[in-house]
Amino acid sequence: MITESPQQVIARTAAAIAPPNEDAAARAAERQERLTKPPGSLGRLESLATYIAGLTGSDRPRLARRLLVVAAGDHGVAAHDVSAYPQSVTAQMAANFAGGGAAVSVLADHAGARVRIVDAGVAGDTVDAPGLLRLRLGAGTDDITRGPAMSRELAARTIAEGIALFEAEHDAAGGGGVDIVGCGEMGIGNSTAAATIVAAVTGRPPRSVTGRGTGIDDDRFEAKIGAVERALEVNRPDATDGVALLAAIGGFEIGVLAGVYLAAAAARVPAVVDGLISGAAALVATAVEPAVQPYLVASHRSVEPGHSATLEQLALEPLFDLGMRLGEGTGAAIGITLCVAACRLLDEMATFDEAGVDGSDTVVMPE
């Protein structure tokens, strides 16, 4: 729980965000040139590690402490038949996450990341389980086709709770801090809210940024597009004010993740973005404070059309494209794995001098 006012939490976090450290990135790039490989032969793994060096301020970053935040929340817009699944699934899937039975559970374990599940605002009751934080900011949002998702005051609190969550994880004596964080989500109706955010921020037509989410049929797809259009018309969201944007058309899980992005940037911790909904949270975070943007690492490109628009708006190049659209943080977990691999190469590979290998000025290295 936060002790400052939500507005104070957001303001001091935003003020603490510094630009990436160019000196650390330059030192990392120089080391890359001395490693036992032809320059550039590891492709984007080299530039990724160099970039992370600039974010962390360390020329040999070690991403040993990995966290994946999976925030769950329901949406009033689900009443308009925009999903193939009932709202009861959100609480059930939160229990599945906690029990280790979900796709993200498997991939997080593979990445060596601890998982923090957050009941940000699930309509049904969630189980008490290790690793599950019950914020319970509401029993789902209000219907955005009829008015705002939540009040501005509640939106600010939602973001502040996300900041507090990350700070607690980063400062935890037992947990040992956070070197990299990934963000995922769960919530029936949240791809509709996310598409509305994307349309509001990018100015693109709702039909061009709205996808089929859970695999809905044509009738539900048309209903979903109609819901996005009505939400924009009814609320007329201000895309330049992150708190107002969240209040008008967002979700509790989206706000919590936006807070995580803000706090991670303030702590110089790379934040790996998952798919459409996590991307919408990144749009909210950058509307609150644009300085967040450099600390965002796009894991993958979702097949959801709004996600490509989001990546373009945020000027992010995804690390991979596997045709994924599950959410949960599955792409972020794989993204963490790639970030760790890139940084281990930078840190643990020998230089030509260390290995006693002639450099490229004396011998041609094989490709």
Catalytically active residues are: 328
Q: How far is CA 95 from the centre of its chain?
A: 21
Tokens of 110: 């593979």
How many C-beta atoms lie closer than 10 Å to residue 296's C-beta? 24
Q: How many whole angstroms separate alpha carbon 149 and alpha carbon 139?
A: 12
Residues 6+ positions from 366 with CB-CB distance below 8 Å: none
Residues 6+ positions from 355 with CB-CB distance below 8 Å: 36
How many C-beta atoms lie closer than 10 Å to residue 161's C-beta? 25
Tokens of 145: 């086709």
Which strands sit side by side in the sheet containing 271-273, from one edge to the other? 132-134, 113-121, 66-73, 180-186, 271-273, 296-298
How many C-beta atoms lie closer than 10 Å to residue 89's C-beta? 18
Burial of 354 (0-12, 13-18, 19+ CB in 10 A): exposed
Amino acid at 288: V
Nearest Cα residue to 181 out of 351, 358, 322, 52: 52
Tokens of 232: 């924009």
Please provide residue 50's backbone torsions phi and psi, each rounded to the nearest 5 degrees. -65, -40
Tokens of 96: 């599945």
Q: Where are the alpha helices (DSSP H) in the chain?
A: 6-15, 22-34, 44-56, 88-99, 103-111, 152-171, 190-202, 206-209, 218-235, 242-249, 252-266, 276-288, 305-314, 330-348, 352-355
Q: What is the SS3 assignment for 353? A: helix
Amino acid at 351: T
